[in-house]
Structure 1
């Protein structure tokens, strides 16, 4: 080893030592601050009245804002903004149900025409079905299903074209 390499220089390593000491002290202070902050927050969280925080009125406001936002983005039909969640869900069920009924009605009418059913039959079916489309509610859908499954109508699903 040369003589230059074995000599210790004045101030050498001081900056690294200072940085290390500053980092250790800063870490200690940060740990102390975090301990105190979390003890403070723990005390505050225990004092929160969640029933008061999440009152029914607040819940209704949140749902109203939510439905208004969905309406603005075009994800809900016009007129649905501000509805409470139970009415919002009921109306969405009803809209989907009505869309399905109308699609079924349209398919039935198309099928009757395409199969050359007599005009009188087509008009009779139209006049019988159309009023039920608009006067029927999603929650009452089982009435239709049960009627269709009854003995009087069950043959429709159980018969073949050749029968």
Structure 2
């Protein structure tokens, strides 16, 4: 087969490649300049003033978008997507979980008193439990529940009110 090189063969492809390299280089330079400019402008923005000009609806929408983005990126659990700012922060701080632990403590104390538990037992439970739910923040509630799987406590899960006392 006879292969002849013709005038202009491959020139168009090389020109396209060169144009693409130059456009890419120019675009990268433009983006660097644009973001340097925006960075300078952002440094001078009074965010308190800017936020003061947003309506409550705007703030809620921004926070909803933000929490949805955090869910999308896997930074917070999916159930937190779309939560307003105050609920998102409360959930991230596990405020509800700590409140739940405290409520459980209160219910346990009420149950002990209602079932005529000895005062020494009530005092012992109070002294042992009261500071823990308040002071501890468990990232995973299963950490606390799993304590009942320890051999010292396993029997508690099976215990009923009708079981004879030891």
TM-score by length of 2: 0.44
Highest Rg: 1 or 2? 1
The TM-score normalised by the length of structure 1 is 0.45
